[in-house]
Amino acid sequence: MSNYFERLAGDAAGRIGEITIPRANMTIETPALLPVINPNIETVSPADLQANFGVDILITNAYIIYTNDDLRAEAKDQGVHELLDFEGAIVTDSGSFQLAEYGDIDVTTRDILSFQQTIGADIATPVDIPTPPDVTRGQAEQELALTKKALADAETTDTGSMLVNAPIQGSTFVDLRETAGKHAVTTDLDVFPIGGVVPLLNNYQFATMIDVVIAAKRGLGPAAPVHLFGAGHPMMFALAVAAGCDMFDSAAYAIYARDDRYLTVRGTKHLDELEHLPCSCAVCAGHTPAEFQSLRTSTREQRLAEHNLAVSYAELRRIKQAIRRGSLLELVEIRARSHPAVYDGYRALLDHTAELEARDPVRKASPFIVSAASAERPEVYRHHERLSRLRVPDSVLLTEGGVPTEHEYDAVWRVVPPFGPFPRALSETYPLTAEIPEHSSIAAQQTAAAAVCRLVEANPDTEFSLAHNKWAMSAVDALPERVTVESLGEISNSNDSKWSSYNYLRIDRM
């Protein structure tokens, strides 16, 4: 791997970074969205993309140019930047997409890379084999071997200062994705697109997509810049960034606009469904849905494409701000609440909490723990990991609020779902400064109970009592047998004066 990517800030596995693109003499901030430009159909011109949306990098298809005599002659003569009238960085695809769609293309990796070099592409792509999801393992292995060969051919082709993509394939076999990542990062290629995921994205299989991304990233390691090939819907950007993706490309903005489809961060709407436009971009502020419908088809398509781009770039800015503030997972959680498929993706991401935790910054703003799924966040995992390292005296009461019996304890610790137990001295330390709803979810109680189990196991000689505030039976039943359990809900009714005298133990914000 070359060394053109630098990570500047991070949250979960998401990061803000910079990719230096020598041939364009530019540095691009990531996460970046690359609009897809079809040289035959320009819904929004590249010059307008640059002027109106600040687009500094886009992607087009070198194979389309290569196979069209006029475009090919013009690109060879003037270069791809002149052809598209765009001054920013241009990434070119190789025809792999056409190979996946139509089963055959008439070009080799060496030919198409030399062509991309000739027309002045800034980041080029070899002819990898995009293996779709759910094929046989034999097919996935066989095609991965061909992709590996394409990377080897790319390494030995003269590409000058042009950066070259090293796509990661392997279908839905996570071990193959990891192996492919491990191999790609040993090449001298530069950017690492995760390919073959378009069918997953089209079918909203975001959980499988996350498993594939995490596996590829496990192989690649954290230093590699990762492009999620074909991902252009803003509803899943936050999720994919949190899993460690740095670049996206959107053909969706134009393709959806062609069918009167209106992108939102909560999913796609058809123009027919909208009585009001839930957006404040320049296009939406200037039109009612009825006015939209009355526009000429080509104008409507262009205006819709502009809205689709505006909503996509706004989401990217929101994601970058969230990374800077350490609240990316809260944004993912909001998106997960908007669509069941994104929720499935978020759950899949949380299945990899240990890996996320390893990359999560140790210090950041107080997390908001707002849902049952939050109970599995890296911040909670981190606290659980340190439980076995805490010093514990001979007898400890773990309590959600009060001291329910006359029993004397050597120490009284707080217990807060989903974090579980901690000594009072840690109350004001991260991540226990989290904002938590007054009514904990059953999942949060179960997670807290698991933390109690962990503490009890690590301290076999300590006598533990737990005073909980009406936990669900499933959480209480999960506690070790030797823990004395009392419910504060019952005690607070029968012994108000005693309860209130211990109010100082409560975390103020609860």
Nearer to Zn ion, 108 or 268 (CB): 268
In the complex, the smallest distance separating the C-beta of residue 84 from Zn ion, rounded to whole angstroms, is 25
In the complex, the smallest distance separating the C-beta of residue 278 from Zn ion, rounded to whole angstroms, is 8
| Residues 371 and 441: beta-carbon distance below 8 Å | yes
In the complex, the smallest distance separating the C-beta of residue 54 from Zn ion, rounded to whole angstroms, is 16
Q: How far is CA 148 from CA 138, 194, 258, 385, in A?
A: 15, 14, 36, 39
Nearer to Zn ion, 317 or 424 (CB): 317
- The residue ranges of DSSP E strands in 43-104, in sequence order, are 57-61, 89-93
11, 56, 93, 128: the active-site residue: 93
Which of 191, 279, 316, 322 touches Zn ion by CB under 5 A? 279
Residue 300 engages Zn ion in binding (rule: CB under 5 A)? no
Which of 183, 307, 382, 384 touches Zn ion by CB under 5 A? 307
- Burial of residue 146 (CB within 10 Å: 0-12, 13-18, 19+) is middle
What does the alpha-carbon distance between residue 244 and residue 211 come to, in Å, rounded to a whole number?
A: 12
Q: Which of 155, 221, 163, 220 is nearest to 190 (CA)?
A: 163
Which of 281, 370, 453, 505 touches Zn ion by CB under 5 A? 281
Which of 166, 284, 348, 416 touches Zn ion by CB under 5 A? 284
Nearer to Zn ion, 315 or 355 (CB): 315
Q: What is the DSSP string of 229-249?
A: TT---GGGHHHHHHTT--EEE
Nearer to Zn ion, 41 or 285 (CB): 285
In the complex, the smallest distance separating the C-beta of residue 120 from Zn ion, rounded to whole angstroms, is 34
Question: What are the phi and psi torsion angles at 132 (to 5°)?
Answer: -70, 170
Residue 386 DSSP symbol: H
Nearer to Zn ion, 233 or 307 (CB): 307
Q: How many residues sit close enough to Zn ion to count as binding (CB under 5 A)?
A: 4
| Residues 284 and 275: beta-carbon distance below 8 Å | no
| Residue 246 is among the residues annotated as catalytic for this protein | no
| Residues 397 and 465: beta-carbon distance below 8 Å | yes
Stretch that binds Zn ion, among 178-186, 299-307, 414-422, 443-451 (CB under 5 A): 299-307
In the complex, the smallest distance separating the C-beta of residue 281 from Zn ion, rounded to whole angstroms, is 3
Q: Is the peptide bond before 418 cis (omega within 30 degrees of 0)?
A: yes
Residues that bind Zn ion (CB under 5 A): 279, 281, 284, 307
Active site residues: 93
